[in-house]
Amino acid sequence: MNSSNLERLMGASSTGDTSLVFKEFTAAKQSELFETLKQLRFSGQLVLTGLEGQKWVVYLSQGLIMYVTGGAHPVRQWIRNLKVHLPQIPAEISALQNELACITNEGPSVCWQYQLLRLWVENQKISREQAAKMIWNIFVEILFDITRTKRVSCELQLDKSLSARLVLIDSTHVITEANRLWRAWQAAKLANCSPDKAAVIRQSEQLQQNTSVPVYQMLIKLLGEQRSLRDLAVQMKRDVITVTRSLTPYIQSGLVELINIPDLPTPVFSPSATVNAQGPLIACVDDSPWVSQAMEKVITSANYRFVGLNDPLRAIGVLLALKPDLIFLDLMMPNISGYEICGQLRKFPLFRNTPIVILTGNDGVVDRVKAKVVGSTDFLSKEKVDAERVLGVVHKHLVHCTLDLYKQSSNANSPNRNPKSLKPSGYENNPLGVNLST
């Protein structure tokens, strides 16, 4: 490849008439492409499209990489790398939506992932070095996926506004690392297997008959939630090659199957999701994503802000950062119980008076006594909970917040406003009946 080919491509990119096609996008061709873009000091987007329609976007400034996104699971990829490289940042979708609400339209028009990194660096939540490591590892994953693709076409879209620098990555070492991983993947005889697929059990009875009880229980636990092989590797704290090879005998025997799974929803902030950006923030710590989603639906319908936390081990740090006005806390969670989290929270002056409502499927007297001993404010059974009960508890313990909001609204608007309007919308007549039992 020479610079004249790319210059001609750049000239035609605005009309969309021309693309550069690679029958095999090898490491050598990747190096040549990115080196030429660096020599041309190209600013804009490099759009790469695979044979099956996969699409990746590389954002460049002066020929260096700002960010890379795309492929089958850009959201799963982001959350996975967030958990590994920035564990202090909440990775739940609702938490990311709250962060996106703080972003203005200033700066380069890059994807939401880059905007979040820029926000966190500006707010000193992470360092530039941490942001660079996050981008570098995502770039490696994406180049690995692109290398697996037999035929790749590329288009260039000029955008001189892409000049604001968070961090800029040189492609040389990234290409080397992605190529090393691809060769290891091939050596493990996994070339026809995508790490974005999920392993699911197809023959449960036969699997149970052909494995020991501990192995069977482990497989049921690991493969029950349709995680991609990459996500599974992060959960198990193993590399993806080791995890995939350990599952290969079960896949070959037909007991386990690899299937395509959809990406998670993009956490793009919508004003309707948080009606009052200054309103009370309610957190829910529960290891079940379903419970968090159900709670979010109920609570945001009443115009409260919401954040769901599914990792109990990281919950305390995230709660300290977000400072919620009320906390729903599941009682029974893996590794750490709701009792322990509640007791630890009460040791911080910040949470000394914060309402903490224990959620449990067991409405026993012993649980209620224990919850009170560690400092819980209230107790809510998940077996009987619906929208009206949830909002009733919220209103009961956030009267001070709604009064503050009422005073602010009254000062700004009518001084004779009826105090009864302080009750959150949907409290008295909410059509949602949600059973939060698990």
> What digits encode the pLDDT tens for the residues 283-303?
999 877 777 778 888 888 888
| β-bridge mates for residue 256, sequence order | 201
The closest of 62, 67, 69, 57 to 155, measured between CA atoms, is 57
Q: What is the C-alpha separation between 331 and 378, in angstroms, rounded?
A: 12
- The percent of the chain in helix, strand and coil, each rounded to the nearest 5, is 45, 15, 40
The closest of 370, 359, 377, 366 to 434, measured between CA atoms, is 359
Amino acid letter for position 86: L
Question: How confident is the model over 353-378, as a mean pLDDT?
Answer: 78
This prediction's pTM: 0.64
- Weakest mean pLDDT among 36-50, 56-70, 291-305: 291-305
Amino acid letter for position 274: T
Q: What is the C-alpha separation between 346 and 358, in angstroms, rounded?
A: 14
- Residues 142-161: tens digit of each pLDDT: 999 999 987 899 999 888 77
Helix axes 229-236 and 213-223, enclosed angle (nearest 10)? 120
The closest of 25, 1, 5 to 13, measured between CA atoms, is 5
The CA-CA-CA angle for residues 95, 99, 358, to 5°, reads: 30
- Report pLDDT for 17: 40
Tokens of residue 17, six digits: 């008439």
DSSP 8-state secondary structure symbol assigned to residue 349? G
Helix axes 387-397 and 289-301, enclosed angle (nearest 10)? 70
Q: What is the C-alpha separation between 438 and 435, in angstroms, rounded?
A: 9
More confident: 290 or 9: 290
C-beta of residue 57 within 8 angstroms of C-beta of residue 45: yes
